[in-house]
Amino acid sequence: MADYTLEHGKRYKAKITLGLLQSVAPNEMVAEQLRQTGFADVRVTGSGRTRIATGVWERGTVSGAIPDEISDITLLT
């Protein structure tokens, strides 16, 4: 797991690589998982194992380990 800091009110983009069984999940299900962790205005595109997600971090600024399934995190301006 890589470490990353998420700042309140900032929009992020990330690549999500799903496992074989998870790859059949619809984008809305992936988006709902991100909402439950603290993101708002979530959009997920793509299909199969690779998805691209964007969202605004709504909780306080946090630092910590990001699961291996999430990579290429970019702060959007």
Provide the domain limits for residue 49.
2-76
Alpha-carbon gap, residue 63 to 44, rounded angstroms:
23
7-60 pLDDT, tens per residue? 999 999 999 999 999 999 999 999 999 999 999 999 999 999 999 999 999 999
Cα 1 to Cα 24, 42, 58, 75, distances in angstroms: 24, 23, 22, 19
Query: What is the structure's pLDDT at 70?
Result: 92
pTM: 0.90
Q: How many CB atoms are closer than 10 A to CB 32?
A: 13
Q: Quick check: 77 pLDDT over 90?
A: no
Number of domains in the chain: 1
> Does 1 have pLDDT greater than 80?
no
